[in-house]
Amino acid sequence: MRQHDLVVIGAGSGNSVIDDSFAGLDVAIVEEKWFGGTCLNAGCIPSKMFAYAAHVARTVGEAGTYDVDAELLGVRWRAMRDRVFARLDDEREEGRRGRRESDFVTVYEGTARFTGPRTLRVDLADGAVDIGARQIVIAAGGRPLVPPAVLHSSLPYETSDTVMRIEAPPRRLAVIGGGYIAAELAEVFAAAGSSVVIVEKEDRLLGPQDETVAERFTELMRSRYDLRLGREVTAVGGHPGALRLTLDDASVIEAEMLLVAAGRVPNSDRLNLDAAGVATHDDGRIVVDAYQRTAAEGVFALGDICTPAPLKHVANREAQVVSHNLRHPDALSTADHELVPAAVFTSPQIASIGATEQDCRDRGIDPLVGEARYADIAYGWAMEDTTGFCKVLAERGTGRLLGAHLMGPQAATLIQPLVLAMTLGIDAPTLAKSPYWIHPAPTELVEKALLDLDQGQEASRRSARPRT
């Protein structure tokens, strides 16, 4: 059995754990599929490259709104796909070559599973090898969740791992799921000319979002897609290219292609973690402490396999923490997951941080709520936006920001002042009134929502004053 100082399972965010400070150690990386992980190969990056093209197509199609005569002739799917993946596949191979050529990193291209404390068997293309290490980092990610009705049908389906590489968009696409992956990919295929039907078991799309966002987004999407909300697929029949999905209300959907975007699950069940003494939560996530340490001595975990916030920027932060803690056991750092921003790259964009209004109710909190519409600001007039808004929640009395939620153009960028304020402890009145806000710029949307919040605070103070 070959012994290493450090083994990292997974070459997505796990790959970034290793920097030049590890050069004096014997390091190994085990990767079964993709250098660069899901983000580079089938997730964040390609989906946003496709989503941006979809945004351009929608902008051309709606150019008449701005008295611009333009005609959308179509989306060249294969050319777009090849442009996206030619670049990303090169990035993946460059990362792979760089690690293979390293003088202190050994690359095992295969599937790892634990055989005991800090020992692994790696199944390679030409056999298996047993390895051990003084320290191990588990960064094996996750995979799409596929409902039993789809699996049992033995009929073809796509997931986010595969659908962006298909040869041509279908005439009719059925999507199972109503979360951010489903919403973004539905946008892409609608722009490419597909007729889209979405089956979602909840009554709204993007259910975890603030209720105002989820409600308004769902209503907007009713005009674009065939929505089957509050429904589940009970059976999949037909044949490839002519699928028939039966729902729990006995209705039937016909589609050329099925995209399963019903969530993701951690890959922990594939690692034989019991042999290593690594504990998991009920949902399969590996249990880690504030320092990303597992229950097993010398074993760390990061990213989608353990995190409560399965987002790439979170995995990157956790990788930084693990990298530091491996090298500095007497000065450990932590990853804070209390305030994690997120965005959905649809049209309109959506961005959020902190508590939703329903979270506040569940906690018995009666927050101040401030809201501003794009239609309330001059740049919103320029964009002719009538549906977008910014909503902020704050604690009564202190003005401490509790949450922020945006829906509209550039939402993923506009939320950043609120992210900074919440992270640094800047209260809403200070953020609204201390800095200059450029006029006329989209950021005035945030300013107006904060001022609306402040007006609610003043009204609350007036109502609390004793009458004379």
Q: What DSSP string describes 39-84?
A: HHHHSHHHHHHHHHHHHHHHHHHTGGGGT---------HHHHHHHH
The range of the structural domain enclosing residue 256 comes to 148-262
- pLDDT at residue 454, as a whole number: 74
Contact 132, 294 (CB under 8 A): no
pLDDT digits (tens, 9 = 90+) for 252-261: 999 999 999 9
Residues 121 and 24 in one domain: yes
pLDDT digits (tens, 9 = 90+) for 51-72: 999 999 999 999 999 999 999 9
Q: What angle do CA 331, 420, 317 make, to 5 degrees?
A: 40
Residues 255 and 271 in one domain: no
Contact 278, 138 (CB under 8 A): yes
Of 152, 328, 337, 439, catalytic: 439
- pLDDT at residue 275, as a whole number: 98
Structure tokens at 436: 């200059």
Helix (H) or strand (E) holding 197: strand 195-200
Residues 235 and 371 in one domain: no
Buried b (16+ CB within 10 A) or exposed e, 241-262: eebbbebeeeeebebbbbbbbb
Burial of 371 (0-12, 13-18, 19+ CB in 10 A): middle
Residues 190 and 61 in one domain: no
Residues 27 and 82 in one domain: yes
Catalytic annotation present for 324: no
33 Cβ contact list (under 8 Å, min separation 6): none
455 — pLDDT class (breaks 50, 70, 90):
confident
Q: What is the CATH number of the domain that holds 166?
A: 3.50.50.60
- Residue 332: phi and psi, rounded to 5, are -70, 145
Tell me what percent of the residues of the chain surpass a pLDDT of 70: 97
In a domain, 332, yes or no: no
The three-state secondary structure class of 217 is helix
- Residue 150: phi and psi, rounded to 5, are -75, -45
Give 400's DSSP letter: -
In a domain, 335, yes or no: no
459 Cβ contact list (under 8 Å, min separation 6): none
